Amino acid sequence: MGGMLTTIRPNNREPMMDFAQEQAGDVLIVRLAGRLDSSAAPGAEQNFAGVLGGATPHLAIDLSSLEYISSAGLRVLLIVAKKVQQAQGKVALCGLTPNVREIFAISGFDAIFSIQPDAAAAVAAVR
């Protein structure tokens, strides 16, 4: 299973967020790592737009390596969820770290998304 990795670097010093993808049958697994904040959000939104073009999306988003998500990052995930829903697809999140899970709980996003414990469960949830 080959994958594509894009590192979003708002400045040229250190990568803020990695965006990796791999196909698992009919499900696309996207792995986000680092910080999804206001500086990384525009690039993440572009990357998601690029992978969502085409057939009905079945998307599992692995957040196990995501250290931080800001309101701008939550907005990106909300846009992705709306696009997937409009295309009659399914999206599930998995691997939320305690910090990220707390942000989802406080914002109410844990009620919006299907949140699974790991990538295998997320893939099964969107099939």
Residue 14 has pLDDT above 70, yes or no: no
Distance of CA 106 to the CA centre of its chain: 18
Confidence of residue 16 (pLDDT cuts 50, 70, 90): confident
Confidence of residue 80 (pLDDT cuts 50, 70, 90): very high
CATH 1.10.3720.10 fits 3-126, yes or no: no
Summarize pLDDT for 26-66 with one digit per residue, the tens.
999 999 999 999 999 999 999 999 999 877 899 999 999 99
Residue 9 has pLDDT above 90, yes or no: no
Matching residue, tokens 């737009």? 49
**Non-local CB neighbours of 85 within 8 Å, separated by 6+ positions:** 91
Note whether 63 and 94 are within 8 A (CB): yes
Confidence of residue 7 (pLDDT cuts 50, 70, 90): low
Within 10 angstroms of residue 85's Cβ, the number of other Cβ atoms is 12
